[in-house]
Amino acid sequence: MKSKTSVTLSRTLLDEISETLGAKVNRSKLIEAAVREYLARMAREARDKREIEILNKHASALNREAADVLTYQVKL
């Protein structure tokens, strides 16, 4: 379901949209797509930050394990 809202954008931005995509572009669809993309990027960045914090928390143990595994490799 769609809801109608009012968004105020600068004339410069509206002109840039028209110049780039043409005057007949559906600005509502464009803005909705842009906001969805922005929200998805923010969610990915938050997820990545959490994962990096987890990796950093366990970095020493992971590095020790990796070093141990390397000792089992056969040298040719």
Provide the pLDDT for residue 73: 83
Provide the pLDDT for residue 23: 81
Is residue 23 within 8 Å of residue 15, measured between CB atoms? no
Give counts: helices (H), strands (E), the chain: 3, 0
Would you state the structure tokens that stand for residue 50, as one six-digit string? 């959490």
pTM given for the model: 0.69
Is residue 28 within 8 Å of residue 15, measured between CB atoms? no
Those residues of the chain that have pLDDT short of 70 are none
Provide the pLDDT for residue 24: 87
Provide the pLDDT for residue 50: 98
